[in-house]
Amino acid sequence: MRKPRVERERKDFADFYQRFRDNCLRAVLAGTGDRALAEDLVAEAFARAWASWPRVRQHPAPAAWVVRTALNIRVSWWRRRRREVALDGHDRAYLIEDDVGTSDALLAAVRRLPRRQREVVVLRIWLDLDTRSVAAALDISPQTVAVHLSRATATLRAQLASAVREEIRS
């Protein structure tokens, strides 16, 4: 009797992974700016999701759980590493956004947003979560999500319009 349940869980998780891996990768890439690091973080987050799949499956927004976990892993990694001395030329972030369908200008603009606005944009727009799910994932009210999203889109609109005007002038 256990075997069918385990097989069903594997299939559920495999379906979840296939549907949300790219969106989670885009979201984490927006936060990190480093394709290789984002891939590692997402892989680790999905591994943790699989280890806790019965609980994660019940989460209101499992994809948001994966993104939040990946970003938390990065913070933990950064805290451990912040006392290390970087060697010149070995800590550069290399961006390869074309693989995930996001422009350089958009990623750069999103990275310049304050942390909470960036999180709301990633969860609400890129992961296509509803406002309540974003609020639950970030532990804030739906009204706060709406305010952050409004401010973020206004900032992004202004930054991208400015970038387009500069490109036209060039």
pTM of this structure? 0.55
> In the chain, which ranges are E strands?
none
Residue 162's SS3 state is helix
Quote the CATH superfamily of domain 2-81+101-169.
PhyR, sigma-like (SL) domain (1.20.140.160)
pLDDT in tens, 5-23: 888 889 999 999 999 999 9
pLDDT in tens, 95-139: 334 444 457 778 888 889 999 999 899 888 888 888 998 888 888
pLDDT of residue 108: 83
Residue 144's SS3 state is helix
Sorted by sequence, the CB contacts under 8 Å of residue 107 that are 6+ apart come out as 29, 30, 33, 95, 97
pLDDT of residue 3: 74
Instruction: For residues 62 and 67, give the distance between their C-alpha atoms in angstroms, rounded to a whole number.
Output: 9
Taking the domains of the chain in order of start, what are their residue ranges?
A: 2-81+101-169
Query: Average of pLDDT values for 35-43?
Result: 92
- Rg value, the chain, Cα: 18
pLDDT in tens, 51-105: 999 999 999 999 999 999 998 888 877 666 655 444 444 444 443 344 444 577 7
